[in-house]
Chains A and B, each alone.
Chain A
């Protein structure tokens, strides 16, 4: 098992290394002069030359890459063309907001998938199942940014009971920075009203992100529950007189959960992608909003940093999913006799 994890980690490092080459290449094939893009056309030649020096633009491409990577490994992504600050400072400032949003969406996704999936499996072919099925079509058909737009309008105008923009209401000061996650910081420092305010602000964007994946994954869980409930081992266990709740909770759920968890892992990728749009819609001050603004303004250093960080995050999530699945399914972690 340990060997497997180490192998995965090494492979992950290798792939992230490849990702860095890819994103560096994308950032350098930008049409036009990088220095001009960064500083605007009115910049003086000497300023441009200084920036070229800073970005190693006068070197050959492979040399540029090696020098850039050396800096990146030291945590130095260069300066942002827009904020003029070190990108690493920006990342440190914006990352926690996205982490909090992704975490809460992830929790919504897990609760929703298992809640709705179990309900649909339990009441299969009844109206409950039907409603969940229709919801899953809605989830497929409406991309997160459309859901986000509708929620923003609904709660911004028609039903102003939930805050729609930002991480905190105006006038509420952020809790002391410990983890950077406002809810947790608020609870740790005893500022429960701040934590609550932060939570309310999270609800809509997190829901917009989680809705599509969760209703679809609930259907995946439902169908694997239904498939497995016809398996011979379920009939056998039923035949031994085990109580129904134990059968569902233990004997049926555990083998069925793996497929749903696998797709949840994959859907987390689309969630991270859609976060780029949803954070923009809800003006959520996270790394994805920072990233999309960087992209729209060709802030090359910031783009590289954001993509690498998302890649790292995605890798960690995938690894976690694999570990959970091998914990659930012994066939994944122990070889058989044959």
Chain B
């Protein structure tokens, strides 16, 4: 527990909708150690972003319910924090890079104004003069490989391209020191060449300062490049977690296997079938395993009961009935 930055246990998050509770996050466990890079992988709308926003408590509390679970940040319960502690967490503990750079910057203030406020209120530069803070901001802009920081400081978001805005978002998360950086699909809006640059930059910036990283992505390829450990999330559940290399060596949950098949390979016959169907209805989710309606191995048991977490090899957990009887044996069944 010593080096554990973030620890989430049995967390559920429900959105209040007119149809009832939309149970988008359902009993999840997740932890991040100091200096560790963790990937959270799943298709759009499976609760990844909601979970991360909840860590910083930035979701309007009137639209969600958190019926059970706990979030601990550096050993302190986030859900029980008062206003000051929460500000402290947001200023020094964790920061988040939004998945939509086009809308993550306030359109009516210059980049400089926005960066300066973050620096000023982080409390990490006590007694610094305005000039010193400007220097910090410029340095942050330079560190994300943008030239001409003076001009950028004076620009409004709409004057910058998507890639530049994304870098600014990263710069604003890195301008002050924080234990944990949450990168929420930072490259969805960008083209491939820039994606690669930004991923490399992220990794360097994180490793350089000994921070922890949670990388949210829907691409296993990205996760493989970047992170030490992977959580596979489906329909509000964590269905599989293990070290990155174990996952690629031995993907075990039917959903993970489906995801793997989605990655187009250069050799081999083009695109695969992928996974049929849509993410589940969160208001009336399937009673048993949430993946069951899309799973080709589903049995009667899957429809009625929640699957257990099974450790199929050291530090490799899968939430599926296939492995419940005898660990290891079912793994093979999953492959074919």
Decide if A and B touch, CB cutoff 8 A: yes
Chain A residues proximal to chain B, CB less than 8 Å: 125, 229-244, 246, 250-251, 254-255, 328-331, 334, 336-338
CB neighbors of A among B69-99 (8 A): 83, 86-92, 95-96, 98
- The answer to whether B62 has its CB under 8 Å from any CB of chain A is yes
A-B CB contact pairs (8 Å), 28 listed: A231-B103, A232-B98, A232-B103, A233-B103, A233-B104, A233-B105, A234-B106, A235-B53, A235-B58, A237-B106, A238-B58, A238-B90, A239-B56, A239-B58, A240-B90, A240-B95, A240-B117, A241-B86, A241-B89, A241-B121, A242-B117, A243-B87, A330-B107, A330-B156, A334-B156, A336-B159, A337-B160, A338-B161
> Are B108 and A254 in contact (CB-based, < 8 A)?
yes
Top 6 nearest A-B pairs by Cβ distance? A241-B90, A241-B91, A336-B158, A232-B103, A330-B156, A235-B58
Asked whether B201 is an interface residue with its Cβ less than 8 Å from the other chain, the reply is no
B94 and chain A: residue at smallest CB distance: A239
Chain A nearest CB from B18 CB (Å) reads: 15
- Map CB proximity to A onto B129-170 as digits: 1 under 8 Å, 0 otherwise: 000000000000000000000000000101111000000010
Give CA–CA (A241, B122) in the complex, Å. Answer: 7
Distance in Å from the Cβ of B178 to the closest Cβ of chain A? 10
List, in ascending order, chain B residues with CB within 8 A of A241's CB: 86-92, 121-122
Q: Is B118 an interface residue (CB 8 A)?
A: yes
Count of B interface residues, CB-CB < 8 Å:
38
| Chain A hits for B169, CB < 8 A | 236
Among the interface residues A237, A254, A336, which one has the most CB atoms of the partner chain B within 10 A? A237
List the A residue with the shortest CB-CB distance to B172. Answer: A240
Could you tell me if B158 and A239 are in contact, using CB atoms closer than 8 angstroms? no
Task: Determine if B60 is an interface residue (Cβ-Cβ < 8 Å).
Answer: yes
Nearest-neighbor residue (CB-CB) of A258 within chain B: B108
Neighbouring B residues of A250 by C-beta, 8 Å: 109, 117
Question: B93 — nearest CB in chain A belongs to which residue?
Answer: A241
Complex interface: chain B residues within 8 A of A238 (CB): 56, 58, 90
Contact A233 B107 (CB under 8 A): yes
In angstroms, how far is the closest chain B Cβ from the Cβ of A120? Answer: 15
Whether a CB of chain A sits under 8 angstroms from the CB of B100 is yes
Given contacts A254-B109, A337-B159, contact A242 B118 (CB under 8 A): yes
Q: Which chain A residues border B156 with CB–CB below 8 Å?
A: 330-331, 334
Closest chain A CB from B61 CB (angstroms): 12
Chain A residues lying within 8 Å of B98, measured Cβ to Cβ, are 232, 235-236
* Across-interface contacts of A328 in B (CB, < 8 A): 108
Q: Given A229-B60, A337-B160, 9 other A-B contacts at CB below 8 A?
A: A235-B58, A235-B59, A237-B106, A237-B114, A239-B56, A241-B90, A250-B109, A254-B108, A336-B158
Residues of B within 8 A of A237 (CB): 106, 114, 117
A-contacting residues of B (Cβ < 8 Å)? 53, 56, 58-60, 62, 83, 86-92, 95-96, 98, 100, 103-110, 114, 117-118, 121-122, 156, 158-161, 169, 172
When the two chains form their complex, are residues A239 and B96 in contact, meaning their CB atoms are under 8 A apart? yes
Q: Which residue of A lies closest to B90 (CB)?
A: A241
Distance of A184 from chain B, by nearest CB (Å)? 33
> Are A334 and B91 touching (Cβ within 8 A)?
no
Q: Looking across the interface, which residue of chain B has its beta carbon closest to that of A234? A: B106
Contacts of A331 in B (CB 8 A): 107-108, 156, 158
Q: Which residues of A contact B59 (CB under 8 A)?
A: 235
Q: Which residues of A contact B56 (CB under 8 A)?
A: 238-239
B103 close to A334 (CB less than 8 A)? no
A329 and chain B: residue at smallest CB distance: B108
Residues of B within 8 A of A233 (CB): 103-107
Which of A231, A238, A254 is most buried by chain B, counting CB atoms within 10 A of its CB?
Answer: A238
Query: Which residue of the partner chain B has the closest CB to A230?
Result: B60
Cβ-neighbour of A337 out of B58, B60, B110, B161 (below 8 A): B161
What are the residues of chain B within 8 A of A242 when measuring CB–CB? Answer: 117-118, 121
* Cβ contacts under 8 Å, B160 to chain A: 337
Q: Which of B91, B92, B121, B159 contacts A246 (CB 8 A)?
A: B121
- Complex interface: chain A residues within 8 A of B60 (CB): 229-230
Most B CB contacts (10 A, CB to CB) among A236, A238, A255, A331 go to A236
Distance between B95 CB and nearest chain A CB, rounded to angstroms:
6
Q: A239–B56 Cα gap in the complex (Å)? A: 6
Query: By the criterion CB–CB under 8 Å, are A334 and B159 in contact?
Result: yes
Chain A residues with Cβ under 8 A from B91's Cβ? Answer: 240-241
Min C-beta distance of B168 to chain A, whole Å:
11
CA distance A138 to B87 in the complex (A): 41
Query: Min CB distance, B100 to chain A, in Å?
Result: 5
Residue of A whose beta carbon sits closest to that of B55: A239
| A241 → chain B closest CB, angstroms | 3
Residues of B with C-beta under 8 A to A235: 53, 58-59, 98
| Given known A-B contacts A331-B158, A337-B161, A243 and B121 have beta carbons under 8 A apart | yes
Q: Provide the bound-state CA to CA distance between A286 and B91, in Å.
A: 57
Give the chain A neighbours of B110 by CB distance below 8 A. Answer: 330
Tell me the bound Cα distance from A290 to B21 in angstroms: 62
A246–B98 Cα gap in the complex (Å)?
21
CA distance A125 to B61 in the complex (A): 13
Complex Cα gap A330–B118 (Å): 21
Residues from chain A with Cβ under 8 Å of B95 in the complex: 239-240
